[in-house]
Amino acid sequence: MRIFTAVLATETNTFSPICVDRRAFEASLYAAPGEHPETPTLCSAPITVGRRLAVEKGFDLIEGTATWADPAGLVNRLTYEGLRDEILDQLRAALPVDAVVLGLHGAMVADGYEDTEGDFLARVRDIVGPNILVCAELDPHSHLTAKRRAATDFFVYFKEFPHTDFVDRAEDLWRIALDTLAGHVKPVMSVFDCRMIDVYPTSRDPMRSFVDKIMQMEAEDSDILSISVIHGFMAGDVPEMGTKMLVVTDGKPEKGAALARELGLKLFSKRGTFIMPQIDEREAVSRALAATSGPVVIADVWDNPGGGTAGDATVLLAELLAQDAKDAAVGTIWDPMAVQICMAAGEGAEIQLRFGAKSAPGTGNPIDGIVKVVKLVRNAEMRFGESYAPFGDAAHIRLHGIDIILNSTRAQSFDPSLFSVMGIDPTSRKILVIKSTNHFYASFAPIAAEILYCSAGTPYPNNPARTPYRRAPRDIWPMVDNPHG
């Protein structure tokens, strides 16, 4: 048995000013066939899990290119077409194959390709024909379109947000794929459009209980192969944006459709209650300073590079300075030029520096001051679950008693190792400012005395009712109150 696998993934915030070219993929992950590291990344777990299963089950795994770019704006047309065709050529060379198992994100938008994954999957289907199994693991912050459904036998999405389960879901993907090839099951997808867009952290109820329930249903009903909530990606201005329920059954489309509708309407009934309560920057800093123990983690939820923003907003840092905060650490502010200046100055230097707030309106103002360059690290990385996330050449600077990490590769704040690799003990600080919506939670919660979710500035289009969409549906909640009637 011969199975082809490859990865092509990024998340596109169509409102982001940062365009993505091939260099962005190479900076985050670009692995030629067979060169993917043993440690999986967010969208490449199908490769590492597939390697293990190929040894255990005795099939041939043919690896194509694996590549991922950190979330940003529109993908350059030639970049997408070049990477797409590179993988498609590898697939043609691998024929005949019994299956194609892919790692995708699901929210990529390229110049000229509104449904990028739909285009890619349709071309895969054209190459292998109608009878070869095609399946993929995806991120739930994505768009489920009719085109990609028509080209694919089944999808499996991460269930958790933060996405701590990408390896577990790759295991599910391969289990269903191998059972299908063995003739034990016949997967069929049923989808319900929830007609809504929201944010669904699984670190708190009601989403925690909802995910626990669907996992229980998977375990107890042999007809159900997989259940996924496709959260949707509210910063993706595309026609099929929005939350969907997906049920994959063993040849029971009617049962799957009924269950998808039931679960989707239950999710809809909880609309507006999922997201964490947020406070502004003034209240966040005041509460952190008043806390009797630390560290207090302030999450700058909307300047999240994981959602495609630059990660260079200075609103919270300016508030820390305004309230004369000490014993605080900020990780990170994206400013490649400022990092270069610090690298040239060297560790221990005191220099005049302007940094941050260069990318877009709503990110605050650049910070000016005499800073001390404390520590410099080339090609810095932090942990993210079982993998590592690069944040590039980085500089730890100190300004008025506040430690600040400047980075050259955009990345959200996944893990406290972000601070420790730069010489900052995160547990010793009273206040930690990070840039992430919820992926930070699993690793920061164990060390945090308190977590504050802060809405500071407007780098991200976080209110769909007011977002100036041009292509996204307008007949979904919260644009309308009840689209289900």
pLDDT tens for residues 174-208? 999 999 999 999 999 999 999 999 999 999 999 99
- Residue 381 in 3-state DSSP? strand
259 CB-near residues (< 8 Å, 6+ apart): 190, 217, 224, 227, 247
Contact (Cβ atoms closer than 8 angstroms) between residue 391 and residue 382: yes
Contact (Cβ atoms closer than 8 angstroms) between residue 435 and residue 300: yes
Distance CA 40, CA 167 (A): 8
Per-residue model confidence as pLDDT tens for the chain (485 residues)? 999 999 999 999 999 999 999 999 998 899 999 999 999 988 999 999 999 999 999 999 999 999 999 999 999 999 999 999 999 999 999 999 999 999 999 999 999 999 999 999 999 999 999 999 999 999 999 999 999 999 999 999 999 999 999 999 999 999 999 999 999 999 999 999 999 999 999 999 999 999 999 999 999 999 999 999 999 999 999 999 999 999 999 999 999 999 999 999 999 999 999 999 999 999 999 999 999 999 999 999 999 999 999 999 999 999 999 999 999 999 999 999 999 999 999 999 999 999 999 998 899 999 999 999 999 999 999 998 878 899 999 999 999 999 999 999 999 999 999 999 999 999 999 999 999 999 999 999 999 999 999 999 999 999 999 999 999 999 999 999 999 98
Distance CA 343, CA 433 (A): 23
* Closest-CA residue to 333 (of 201, 459, 163): 459
Give the global pTM: 0.93
Distance CA 105, CA 117 (A): 8
318 sits in the region (left: phi over 0; alpha: psi -120 to 50; else beta) called: alpha
Query: Rounded to whole angstroms, what are the CA distances from 101 to 48, 162, 263, 350?
Result: 12, 24, 27, 52
N- to C-terminal Cα separation, the chain: 50
Contact (Cβ atoms closer than 8 angstroms) between residue 306 and residue 410: no
Classify burial at 344, counting beta carbons within 10 Å of its beta carbon; exposed 0-12, middle 13-18, buried 19 or more.
exposed
Alpha helices in 95-134 (DSSP H): 116-128
Torsions phi, psi for 312 (to 5 deg)? -115, 10
